[in-house]
Amino acid sequence: MARRKKIIFFTGAGISQESGIDTFRDSGGIWEQHTIEQVATATAMYENTETVLEFFNDRRLALGNTLPNKAHELIAKLEEDFDVEVITQNVDDLHERAGSSNVTHLHGELTKVCSMKNHKISHDIGYNTIRMGELASDGEQLRPDVVLFGEDVPKLEVAQTKMWDADIIVVVGTSLSVYPAANLVGYGKNSAKYYFINPEKTGETLMYSYPHLSKAKFILKKATAGMEELYSKLVDKE
C-alpha cells in the first residue's frame, strides 16, 4: 500500500480567532489590553506572579466556553486521507477538541499547570483557576504550564524533526513574529508544498533565510474559508 502523504499544519492564534479567542497582535487583540512585559515574560512570572496567574486564569475560564471552528474540524477530518500532524503555537485545546490526534503544543497548554521550579512536574486542571499559595508536589507555587517570552521551548527539536518529514506544510493564522517558533516553517524539505492561510500576507521576512518558501501558495482568507478552499484542493487533487 502506498504511504499516505504527510501534512503538517503549523498554526497560530489566527486559527482560533473565529472561535472568539483574541489574537495577540491584531487590533482589539490581547496586547491592546495588557503588555507583554506585564503578563507574558519569565520576569513577570517571578515578579508579578499574581497578575500573571489572573491573566491565564481568565483565559482558561473563557476557553471552557469556547468551541473549535470549521478550520480546526477540517484539519481533523483530513486524517481520513492523510497522515496529519499539528504543530501549534496556541495554548488552547481546540485542535484536540475538534478531533486531531497528533498535536504538539510548542508554547504549552492552558489546561495544564506546573511547578514554578520544575516544568516536568505538571498536571491537567481543565478549565479551573489557580491561586497564590496553591502548590505543586515539590512544594513550589503552581503556575500555568505555558512557555513565556524569555523561556526555553522544550518541544522545538521534536517539532524540527517532524517538519523535515512533511510532504505538505500548511501555515495557518500566525504572524510568524514569535521566535524561535517561526523558524520552524523554514525547516521543511525543499520539495514540500507550502500553503499559507491568513487574510494578511505573512512570512516574507522568513523567505530571505529560507528561499524555498518563496514558492508557497497564499490563501488570503480567514482560517475557516481558507481551510474549506484547501480541503477541496487536497482531497480532490492530491
| Contact present, 227 and 173 (Cβ < 8 Å) | no
198 is a contact residue toward ligand NAD (CB under 6 A): yes
Chain centroid, CA 141 distance in Å = 26
Residue count at the site for ligand NAD (CB under 6 A)?
29
Output the CA torsion sign for 78, 79, 81, 85: positive
Contact of 219 with 229, CB cutoff 8 Å: yes
Q: Binding to ligand NAD by residue 200, rule CB under 6 A? A: yes
CB hemisphere CA count around 31 (13 angstroms): 9
Nearest to ligand NAD of 111, 115 (CB atom): 111
Cell 524533526, residue located? 161
Residues of the chain by 3-state class (helix, strand, coil), percent to 5: 40, 20, 40
Interface positions, 26-85, toward ligand NAD (CB under 6 A) = 26, 29-30
Q: Is 100 in the site for ligand NAD (CB under 6 A)?
A: no
Site string for ligand NAD, 131-170 (x = CB under 6 A): ----------------------------------------
Using CB under 6 A as the binding rule, whether residue 17 contacts ligand NAD is answered as yes
| CB within 8 Å of 5: residues ≥ 6 apart | 82, 83, 167, 168, 238
Interaction between residue 107 and ligand NAD (CB under 6 A): yes
> What is the 8-class DSSP label of residue 41?
B
Q: How many angstroms separate the CA atoms of 26 and 19, rounded?
A: 15
Give the whole-angstrom CA distance, residue 162 versus residue 177.
Answer: 21
Q: Residue 211 Cβ, how far from ligand NAD at the closest point, in Å?
A: 22
Which of 111, 115, 141, 175 touches ligand NAD by CB under 6 A? 175
Residue 199 touching ligand NAD (CB under 6 A): yes
- Stretch of 19-27, 73-81, 127-135, 185-193 lying at the interface with ligand NAD (CB under 6 A): 19-27
Q: Residues with catalytic annotation? A: 107
Binding site residues, ligand NAD, CB under 6 A: 12-14, 16-18, 21, 23-26, 29-30, 89-92, 107, 173-175, 177-178, 198-200, 202, 222-223
